[in-house]
Chains A and B, each alone.
Chain A
Amino acid sequence: MGNFLFGPFTDNEFLRQSLYAGILVSAICAVAGTFVVLRGLAFAGDALAHGVVPGVAAALLFGFSGVLGAAIGAGVMMSGVSVVTRRYRLSGDTAIGLLFVGMLALGVIIQSRSSSFAGDLTNILFGEVLGVSNSDLMWQLIALVAVCAVAWFCRRPFLLLSVDDGLTETSGFSVKKYHNIMLAMVALTVVASFQTVGTLLVLGLLIAPAATGALFARRIGIMMVVATIVGIFSTYVGLLVSYHANVAAGASIVFCSVLVFTACAVVVEVQRWQAHRKDIHHDHDQPHVHGHVHVS
């Protein structure tokens, strides 16, 4: 049993590297994802994840760093969304949707004519979680520190933004400024994570663990801790499944995180239902007693 659970990791250094990267990415995604879930930025997060695709494709085509390409792509996406919403009075999700498909299509176009050895679209979309180098880990560690720092210093305005924009303004924080900082934090998360889980799957790790945290916890700090644990657990189980069942690793990790959310949601639902039933019994008993009293 121990061999089944831990053997793959003790025998294979590449899998240990994957696990380390998974732990770092889970922690980054837990911090950023909690605010994404609370403020309802899932679609914007998805758009940022796909916004990096043309940047990465161009990086592969012209031979500069993929991380730099991703950062440029995310930057273009963010400023594009804010310009379209401000100038044309279109709702945020229309602007996001427009740029999202536009950037993704541009990425595919660039990639379709590139002849780079590493320029595989599948690698960009699904990541290379089984090929994590030490320098990847170092960058992810730096990103984790940066994301935590941003979340810590902006914790008051971020918390207020998660509740209500009006409340944020009356408390003396600029909604626009802190909204953009929050988006930048999500962008940083995407850039740090896409090499491991891919742009298509990064959203899974951003949303599912944080949503699970939101099911159980009321306090943001605890939500983040739950999200981190769910993320790490999903990474571990996903890699194990990829090992024993011979299936794609990145997708297994993300699928596992969504399964964990579903299982937890069911548990919460059942608890709620039981509590509700207790209430009904209570309510039911009362009038019955009353009725009885009444009749007699």
Chain B
Amino acid sequence: MSSPRRSFLIASATALLVAVSACSSDSSSTSESGTATTLDTTAPMNVVVTYSAIGDVVSRLVGDAATVTVLIPNGQDQHDFEPSAKDVETINNASLVVSNGLDLEEGLEDSLLQAAKSGVPMFHIADHVTLLDAAEKEEGHEGEDDHGHGTEDPHVWLDPETLAESIPALGKALQLATGKDFAAEATAVVGELKALSAKVREIMTTVDECKLVTGHDSLGYFATRYGCTVVGAVIPGFSTAAEASAGSLADLKVVAQENGVKAIFTELGTPADVVDQIAKEVGVDVVELSTHVLPENGGYDDMMTQLATAIAGGLS
């Protein structure tokens, strides 16, 4: 091989490496209180959490005992996320992977399953909380809504008390993975979540009649806890991957009018143009909710209080 050709090859290989590392440096983000951004072989323990809301809570529990890496960048839809090769590596090297479960992380499912098979410890939040099943909360719904993924609602983090149920078990899983005792931290975090719930409840007391129309069927746990009724959703289902039909939208319009809802709440993954038309016809405002992502410069507590404030504001 002639030397200019070789140096060209070396140069392009270097360029490729630089490009790859530049791409990967921002692909794995950490939650606000996380301590490291990239996986380091010298870092002894790395707890991988699938999305930012529980990432924040896990960080509080873990403290300095391990690094916490959030896979799904804050701002992206958990229902839609597809992992990069780097993400899969992060999962496979984790000391413990904390995921939501119940098909919330649809695109991660296969990677998580493979990692579990090769012995990476897994913790599914949904396995350790009291679940709402579809039948319980379908009272307000019309028709048979089978568009969602499972029959059980995966949006457990939208009620701090439901989330709190999983914390003691998570503490034990962390102890198994790291060897450190997390019982005291778990008690503290449960206390914080209960306090947060009280705060949310206080905000929600300002609402006389809490009837919710949401982007997809995401606020079941929230509604059950704080005395609301979910009367309908633009995308009838627990996932944003389903599509609204003319029939389901016409039903939604009727239900919204009959119930005299005061606003239509949209979320990540809600078809904006469709909502605008429906809201126009019903004659109510569209209010954007942050149900799946943390606010900028805020943690889980801010997310929940802002969510409650936005709902209360939209309904007043």
Q: Among the listed stretches A7-15, A146-154, A277-285, which one makes contact with chain B, having 4 or more residues with CB under 8 Å of it?
A: A7-15
On chain A, the residues within 8 Å of B305 by CB distance are none
**Separation of A18 and B274 alpha carbons in the complex (Å):** 10
CB distance from A10 to the nearest CB of B (A): 11
B246 near A132: Cβ-Cβ < 8 Å: no
Q: Among the listed stretches A25-33, A114-122, A183-191, which one makes contact with chain B, having 4 or more residues with CB under 8 Å of it?
A: A114-122
Is B191 part of the contact surface with A, judged by Cβ < 8 Å? Answer: no
**Separation of A133 and B278 alpha carbons in the complex (Å):** 11
Is B273 part of the contact surface with A, judged by Cβ < 8 Å? Answer: yes
On chain B, the residues within 8 Å of A133 by CB distance are 273, 276-277
On chain A, the residues within 8 Å of B246 by CB distance are 8, 12, 15, 18, 130, 239, 242-243, 249
Per-residue A-contact encoding for B134-162, CB less than 8 Å = 1, 0 else: 00000000010000000000000000000
Per-residue B-contact encoding for A237-258, CB less than 8 Å = 1, 0 else: 0010011111111000000000
Take A132-B273, A132-B277 as given contacts and tell me if A122 and B241 are in contact as well, using a CB distance cutoff of 8 Å: yes
- The residues of A with any CB-CB pair to B shorter than 8 Å are 8, 11-15, 17-18, 112-115, 117-118, 120-123, 126, 128, 130-133, 136, 195, 239, 242-249
**Separation of A115 and B241 alpha carbons in the complex (Å):** 16
**Separation of A8 and B250 alpha carbons in the complex (Å):** 8
Is B275 part of the contact surface with A, judged by Cβ < 8 Å? Answer: yes
On chain A, the residues within 8 Å of B273 by CB distance are 128, 131-133, 136, 195
Residue with the greatest number of chain A CB neighbours at <10 A, chosen from B246, B268, B275, B278: B246
On chain B, the residues within 8 Å of A195 by CB distance are 273
| B interface size (C-beta, 8 A) | 36
Q: Among the listed stretches B75-83, B110-118, B167-175, B196-204, which one makes contact with chain A, having 4 or more residues with CB under 8 Å of it?
A: B75-83
- Which B residues between 228 and 286 are near A, CB-CB below 8 angstroms? 240-241, 243-250, 253, 266, 268-278, 280-281
List the 10 closest pairs (A to B, CB-CB), nearest first: A115-B75, A131-B273, A131-B274, A242-B246, A243-B246, A14-B277, A246-B247, A248-B243, A128-B273, A243-B247
Beyond known contacts A117-B268, A242-B245, A248-B245: 17 more, CB 8 A cutoff: A12-B246, A12-B249, A13-B281, A14-B274, A113-B27, A114-B76, A117-B266, A117-B270, A118-B272, A121-B80, A128-B274, A130-B271, A131-B271, A242-B247, A243-B245, A243-B247, A243-B250
